[in-house]
Amino acid sequence: MNITRENKDALNAVVKIDIVADDYQAKVDQLLTDYRKKADVPGFRKGHVPMGMIKKQYGKSIMIDEVNKLLQESLNKFITEEKIDILGNPLPRVQDDFNWDADKFSFEFELGLVPEFDVDLKSKKKVTKYKIIATKELLEEEVKNIQTRYGKMSPLEEVTKEANVTGTFVNEEKEINKKGTFLVSDLEGKKNEKKVVGAKVGDVIELETKKLFKDDHKLQHILGVAHEEIHDLDIKVTLTVEDITKTELADLDQELFDKLFPDGSVKTASELKDKIKEDAEKQFAQQGDQQLLNAVTEHLVENTKFDLPAEFLQKWLATAGEKPLSPEEAKAEFEKSEKGLRYQLIEGKVMKDNDIKLDYAELVDYAKGFIRTQMAQFGNMNPEEKELDDIAGRILQNQEEAQKLQSQLISQKLLAFYKENMSFKSKELSYEDFVKEVYK
């Protein structure tokens, strides 16, 4: 057997494999002998069928199978030993004049090569790193939400500006028929407030969804409409009032503080706000980190220039799935996946150049931390270590779950690396302004 590689350019190569009978004949003869021992042919005793008959019936198909196995094994071994970084899988070149009766076989495979490039983490164009703060207004609102949540409900005869209204929203065309509760103070503008204030149980009110609530996400929650639809939703709905109540806010006293923090760590309203601020900014930091990783990803893809073997990848995509794609479909699929592929290559390069690795023990510890958090939400604050080990082991046996946890852990490692090795433009703002600026 002879294997050679020819580089067409920096991104494309062809591997040629020449196979002769000596490479496969011994294995073929062994298999034919085994077939002969087991063959059950009328007129012959088992194991005594003439070898010529066995060869005539099975010889060619066995030979083709063995050549294909040898071909695949040899190609994979060659790519591994030569340390060739490829994209996709090798593509066999079709030979119109190929003949399985020949004494020598020649096969050619096209390879798409991983491009060589450098990742510049010290670019003059800096990514913005946000510090999201809990404003005084947010803290006041959250304190009021807590007082409302722990307050006492009392029924009202009719809707007031301070009322909670429960009712069913209906729009037949959009197939909306959903029960929801809202505060009158959540409504946007005097016009909507005027329609609702004064209504009694059983009244039917016609409302327009456009600018119905100060926050569109409140409307999304009440109507059960998809997020991508809610901001442009402009329809009429009827509201049938079913319940009207008023909440008497809970006092900011020790009884309330102890309900919220049984360890007695909060004794004043000021300390309560400090706790809320600390918890809120921890959550904000997580969102800020996710946004930072997304922004760094975009930045690196945009500023790391290299070519891809596009023609090869389109040919590979045309045959890689269960259903073959036309050239036009393969091109569209390539264009759709190109950005993700570029970042995968950049991510791999960053990890390789900076020795960022992930071992199984780290993955187990990460899984256990994830499980511990989940269990804490259901009141199990101190699970046994053996229990965590058992659950982590079961989760990591699931390939899909293991892949998801591995991806999350790699993202954490990369984010920590980027924070240490990149310069950022810092910006401090409220959560509301962060949402407006980042997700506008």
Query: Is there a single domain that holds both residue 363 and residue 243?
Result: no
Which of 93, 113, 133 represents a domain boundary (last residue)? 113
Helices 399-421 and 269-303, interaxial angle, to 10°? Answer: 90
Which of 113, 144, 168 represents a domain boundary (last residue)? 113
**CATH code of residue 158:** 3.10.50.30
Asked whether residue 12 is assigned to any structural domain, the reply reads yes
Asked whether residue 264 is assigned to any structural domain, the reply reads no
Strand pairing report for 152-155 and 236-248: antiparallel
Asked whether residue 240 is assigned to any structural domain, the reply reads yes
Query: Is there a single domain that holds both residue 282 and residue 408?
Result: yes
Which of 90, 113, 136 represents a domain boundary (last residue)? 113
Dihedral pair phi/psi, residue 236, rounded to 5°: -100, 140
- pLDDT digit string (tens) for 195-204? 999 999 999 9
**CATH code of residue 41:** 3.30.70.1050
Query: Is there a single domain that holds both residue 304 and residue 426?
Result: yes
Distance of alpha carbon 358 from alpha carbon 409, whole angstroms = 8
Asked whether residue 182 is assigned to any structural domain, the reply reads yes
Q: Which two tokens stand for residue 40?
A: 């059950």
Query: Is there a single domain that holds both residue 200 and residue 297?
Result: no
Q: How many structural domains are present in the chain?
A: 3
- Distance between the two ends of the chain, CA-based, in angstroms? 61
pLDDT for residue 89: 95
Residue 98 and residue 35 in contact, taking contact as beta carbons nearer than 8 Å: no
Dihedral pair phi/psi, residue 406, rounded to 5°: -65, -45
3 state SS of 41? coil
pLDDT for residue 216: 82
Asked whether residue 143 is assigned to any structural domain, the reply reads no
Residue 313 and residue 85 in contact, taking contact as beta carbons nearer than 8 Å: no
- pLDDT digit string (tens) for 110-136? 999 999 999 999 988 999 999 999 999
Query: Is there a single domain that holds both residue 166 and residue 216?
Result: yes
Q: Is the pTM of this model over 0.95?
A: no
Query: Is there a single domain that holds both residue 197 and residue 337?
Result: no
Residue 96 sits in which domain range?
A: 2-113
Per-residue pLDDT of the chain (440 residues; tens, 9 = 90+): 999 999 999 999 999 999 999 999 999 999 999 888 888 778 787 777 888 888 888 899 999 999 999 999 999 999 999 999 999 999 999 888 899 989 899 999 999 999 999 999 998 899 999 999 999 999 999 999 899 889 999 999 999 999 999 999 999 998 999 999 999 999 998 999 999 999 999 999 999 999 899 888 888 889 988 877 887 889 999 999 999 999 999 999 999 999 999 999 999 999 999 999 999 999 999 999 999 999 999 999 999 999 999 999 999 999 998 899 999 999 999 999 999 999 999 999 999 999 999 999 999 999 999 999 889 888 787 889 999 999 999 999 999 999 999 999 999 999 999 999 999 999 999 999 998 899 87
Using a CB cutoff of 8 Å and minimum separation of 24, what contacts does 15-18 make?
Answer: 15/75, 15/78, 15/79, 15/90, 15/108, 15/109, 15/111, 16/106, 16/107, 16/108, 17/71, 17/74, 17/75, 17/78, 17/106, 17/107, 17/108, 17/109, 18/104, 18/105, 18/106
Residue 4 and residue 111 in contact, taking contact as beta carbons nearer than 8 Å: no
Asked whether residue 269 is assigned to any structural domain, the reply reads no
Distance of alpha carbon 114 from alpha carbon 41, whole angstroms = 54
Query: Is there a single domain that holds both residue 215 and residue 81?
Result: no
Query: Is there a single domain that holds both residue 423 and residue 332?
Result: yes
Distance of alpha carbon 39 from alpha carbon 33, whole angstroms = 10
**CATH code of residue 337:** 1.10.3120
Query: Is there a single domain that holds both residue 292 and residue 160?
Result: no
Query: Is there a single domain that holds both residue 326 and residue 408?
Result: yes
Asked whether residue 349 is assigned to any structural domain, the reply reads yes
Query: Is there a single domain that holds both residue 231 and residue 353?
Result: no
Asked whether residue 372 is assigned to any structural domain, the reply reads yes
Query: Is there a single domain that holds both residue 283 and residue 424?
Result: yes
